[in-house]
Amino acid sequence: MGQEEEQAEGGRCVTGRLAPSRQVSSGQLGHTGTGCSMADPAQTQELVYLVTGGCGFLGEHVVQMLLRREPRLRELRVFDLHLSPWLEKLDAGPVRVTAIQGDVTQAHEVEAAVAGAHVVIHMAGLVDVFGRASSETIHMVNVEGTRNVIEACVRWGTRFLVYTSSMEVVGPNTKGHPFYRGNEDTPYEAVHAHPYPCSKALAERLVLEANGREVRGGLPLVTCALRPTGIYGEGHQIMRDFYRQGLRLGSRLFRVVPASVEHGRVYVGNVAWMHVLAAQELERREGLMGGQVYFCYDSSPYKSYEDFNMEFLGPCGVRLVGTRPVVPSWLLVLLAALNALLQWLLRPLLLYAPLLNPYTLAMAKTTFTVSTTKAQQHFGYEPLFSWEESRRRTIRWVQATEG
Ligand SMILES: NC(=O)C1=CN([C@@H]2O[C@H](COP(=O)(O)OP(=O)(O)OC[C@H]3O[C@@H](n4cnc5c(N)ncnc54)[C@H](O)[C@@H]3O)[C@@H](O)[C@H]2O)C=CC1
Ligand SMILES: C[C@@H](CO)CCC[C@@H](C)[C@H]1CC[C@H]2[C@@H]3[C@H](O)CC4=CC(=O)CC[C@]4(C)[C@H]3CC[C@]12C
């Protein structure tokens, strides 16, 4: 557990924007040593993977994990609206890495990227609960983008599709009902009002309904959806925001939600590992896994959102003031409403998108924790990183962000 190698450096990556009429542009990476690669030369490298959203927070970890843990990988296509510079430093060993700048809302770009892929891990999406994007844009990217991915799989005969869904597909709901140590079968009134959870729920349904559809060549499409709870780890922007806010406030943060409200959190490396494993096992266990949903979980402790963040920010010198909320609940509700009003009023002039709004407050105030072993039972998932290791890595990253 937790003995993954550090990220390797070296190698080069050929990047290119897709022309609509062309298939992917690609390049063979130099063989600069396979320090991180689990590839066994005796195994045939035959598989082509496509990761949409591969340059995002989770995407980067999935790309690294695939290179280390999928010995049958021949080509890895990384599809994203914005390509990241780290792609050029990947040590991919013998694997061909193809960076594709593209937009999931553009069916022809998705089709060109999917053509010839054996497995698609679809995680491109707009993760927005702060009102940065319009509900139409969120729908276009998260739902129509997913539809484009499914149709491209059907058209090109790609049989295996893993979709990154979210705990938000279930809740917390608009009524603030707690979901306490729930699993995939726990009854819960899933009522969404916000565009982000609505879009994730619709997209997840599309993916699950597509399971069994006949793809080119006559075989069935096999799909599953993974539902992470709040992901943390190296690269987590909101953690970085809290850290910076703490530094601005004199190395302090103020408790605003009761410590008794528990949140499920999961380490990004384990979420990445679960994606890789699910993708690998879909083929062997299609009858069992096809059309299924799995919460992403590991041994991270159940805590309030703020107390959990302090596991990392505390060792970086930030303290949480108050054993109880320092602001009365009604005032916080008022502030959140005021932020929403300001956002609306200022919209013609500028984008005002603070962390606190009525939706994020409702989330922070509602217990949502999962307790399940479904992924372990269905495809043998065990977390790769222990809580201690996940914590150590995250602290080291937070420390480095301001260094
Ligand atoms: N961060 C979290 O706590 C959780 C995230 N998720 C899901 O995990 C997935 C990845 O999320 P993160 O890595 O956190 O977000 P992120 O914002 O870091 O990554 C998303 C990636 O998708 C790309 N993207 C956005 N619009 C695109 C488009 N139109 N075409 C192509 N690429 C596009 C972005 O450029 C970005 O690289 C998302 O689907 C999200 O809904 C699910 C549960 C929790
Ligand atoms: C009241 C504030 C004072 O400290 C705290 C505000 C915290 C919020 C910004 C976060 C609380 C819960 C988070 C969400 C949760 O982890 C589940 C998520 C799943 C996703 O699919 C995307 C991210 C998120 C919506 C996550 C976003 C940040 C919070 C709302």
Query: For 260-289, how does the pLDDT look when each residue is reduced to its tens digit (9 = 90+)?
Result: 999 999 999 999 999 999 999 999 999 999
- Beta strand pairing status for 179-182 and 96-101? unpaired
Q: Please give the pLDDT value at position 143.
A: 98
- Amino acid identity of residue 204, one-letter, is E
Considering the candidates 49, 196, 359, 381, report the single residue annotated as catalytic. Answer: 196
Mean pLDDT of the chain: 89
Ligand 1 atom nearest residue 141's Cα: 29
381 catalytic? Reply is no
* Best probe residue, ligand 1, of 127, 129, 137 (max atoms within 8 Å of C-beta): 127
Q: Whose CA is nearest to atom 17 of ligand 2?
A: 230
* Best probe residue, ligand 1, of 52, 60, 65, 80 (max atoms within 8 Å of C-beta): 80
12-235+265-300+367-389 architecture in CATH? 3-Layer(aba) Sandwich (3.40)
Q: Whose CA is nearest to atom 27 of ligand 2?
A: 129
Q: What is the sign, positive or negative, of the torsion defined by CA atoms of 213, 216, 222, 227?
A: negative
Residues 6+ apart with CB under 8 A from 254: 320, 321, 322, 326, 327
Q: Whose CA is nearest to atom 21 of ligand 2?
A: 166
Q: Please give the pLDDT value at position 241.
A: 93
Q: Please give the pLDDT value at position 16.
A: 33
Q: Please give the pLDDT value at position 45.
A: 73
Ligand nearest to the CA of 254: 2
pTM of the model: 0.91
Residues 6+ apart with CB under 8 A from 330: none
**Would you list the DSSP string of 114-175?**
HTT-SEEEE------SSS-S-HHHHHIIIIIHHHHHHHHHHHHT--EEEEE--GGGT-S-TT
ipTM of the complex: 0.96
Q: Please give the pLDDT value at position 1.
A: 34
Q: Please give the pLDDT value at position 176.
A: 86
Q: How far is the CA of 40 from the centre of ligand 2 (A)?
A: 40
Q: For residue 104, how far is the Cα from the chain centroid?
A: 16
Which residue ranges in the chain fall short of pLDDT 70? 1-43, 403
Ligand 2 atom nearest residue 257's Cα: 1
